């Protein structure tokens, strides 16, 4: 599966699941509003623990740092142990600032250390792609 196929799938899934209702119709975005597609690859046997960490801890910490996760997915044929999600940012500059604050968060450091006591939950740094919505996109 190529990155473009994966991106097409995720964009279609976002439309099908009515992501527009999450943002709300009155939430006007600036012209430099961006989405970030992030892909994590877990070592064999670690994907469930990575998903649990996102569900049980990371999502709440994201909210404190203005990181708005739109949705989380795993590929149907998940041969590469991947967790994929899309994040909504006001701008790329805000994304940089918010990710730095998240990485410096004491609770995040504790959660990460505890969840990785038996080894890392990711095989490598996440793949990250910043995406700008087009004028006809339902997500802007």
What is the band of 34 on the pLDDT scale with cuts at 50, 70, 90? very high
Rounded mean pLDDT of 3-8?
Answer: 53
Rounded CA separation 45/120 (Å): 11
pLDDT tens sequence across 120-135: 999 999 999 999 999 8
Q: 109-127 b/e with 16+ CB inside 10 Å = b?
A: eebbeebeeeeebbeeeee
Q: Which residues does 73 contact at the CB level (< 8 Å), separation at least 6? A: 10, 13, 83, 84, 85
pTM for the model: 0.76
Domain harbouring 63, CATH code:
3.30.70.100
Q: Is residue 93 part of a domain?
A: yes
Q: Is residue 23 part of a domain?
A: no
Look at residue 139 in the predicted model and tell me its pLDDT: 76
Q: Is residue 74 part of a domain?
A: yes
The domain of 101 spans 32-131
Rounded CA separation 97/102 (Å): 9
Task: Judge whether residue 114 has pLDDT over 90.
Answer: yes
Number of helical H runs and strand E runs in the chain? 6, 4
How many domains are contained in the chain?
Answer: 1
């Amino acid at each position: 599966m190529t990155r473009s196929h994966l991106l097409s799938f995720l964009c279609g899934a976002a439309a099908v699941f009515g992501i527009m209702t999450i943002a709300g119709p009155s939430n006007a975005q600036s012209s430099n509003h961006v989405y970030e597609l992030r892909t994590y690859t877990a070592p064999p046997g670690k994907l469930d623990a990575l998903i649990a960490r996102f569900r049980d801890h990371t999502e709440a910490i994201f909210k404190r740092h203005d990181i708005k996760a739109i949705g989380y997915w795993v590929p149907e044929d998940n041969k590469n142990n991947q967790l994929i999600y899309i994040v909504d940012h006001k701008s790329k500059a805000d994304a940089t600032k918010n990710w730095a604050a998240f990485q410096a968060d004491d609770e995040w450091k504790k959660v990460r250390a505890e969840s990785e006591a038996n080894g890392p939950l990711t095989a490598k740094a996440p793949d990250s792609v910043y995406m700008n919505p087009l004028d006809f996109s339902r997500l802007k």
